[in-house]
């Protein structure tokens, strides 16, 4: 069981760490020069990390395969987002696709 003190201390530590990272960016930017290749790799690594998080959240639920309905919904949402559909349309279409497949018995 966590106490109120533990919660407050944890929140403060996370806040200070977040501020330190945000402060270090502009400060170190003037002191460190990165090659264009390293900057390009850093940008690509952020995209790869985001894609890995999306894939994990889409395909796995509690350590097991999430079924086919969720990836289908994400695929529909991703396609509509890529085609620059309005956000509400993307979310609704993804949800309707996943829910519709679940109603039809697709796991």
Cα–Cα distance, 20 to 38 (Å, whole number): 22
Mean pLDDT on 27-46: 88
Residue 65 lies in a domain: yes
Res 78: pLDDT: 93
Locate tokens 């396609």: which residue? 79
27, 43, 53 from 18: Cα distances, Å: 15, 20, 21
Please give the structure tokens belonging to residue 60: 């796995």
Residue 61 lies in a domain: yes
Residues of the domain holding 73: 48-106
pLDDT tens digits, residue range 74-83?
A: 999 999 999 9
Residue 13 lies in a domain: no
**90, 80 Cβ separation under 8 angstroms:** yes
The helix-helix angle for 69-82 and 87-103 (nearest 10°) equals 160
pLDDT exceeds 90 at position 88: yes
Domain count of the fold of the chain: 1
- Model confidence band, residue 1 (pLDDT cutoffs 50, 70, 90): low
Res 90: pLDDT: 97
């Amino acid at each position: 069981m966590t106490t109120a003190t533990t919660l407050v201390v944890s929140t403060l530590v996370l806040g200070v760490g977040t501020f330190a990272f945000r402060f270090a960016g502009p400060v170190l930017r003037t002191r460190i020069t990165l090659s264009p290749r390293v900057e390009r790799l850093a940008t690509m690594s952020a995209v790869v990390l985001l894609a890995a998080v999306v894939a994990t959240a889409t395909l796995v639920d509690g350590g097991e395969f999430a079924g086919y309905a969720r990836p289908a919904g994400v695929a529909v949402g991703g396609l509509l987002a890529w085609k620059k559909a309005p956000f509400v349309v993307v979310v609704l279409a993804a949800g309707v696709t996943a829910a519709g497949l679940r109603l039809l018995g697709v796991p």
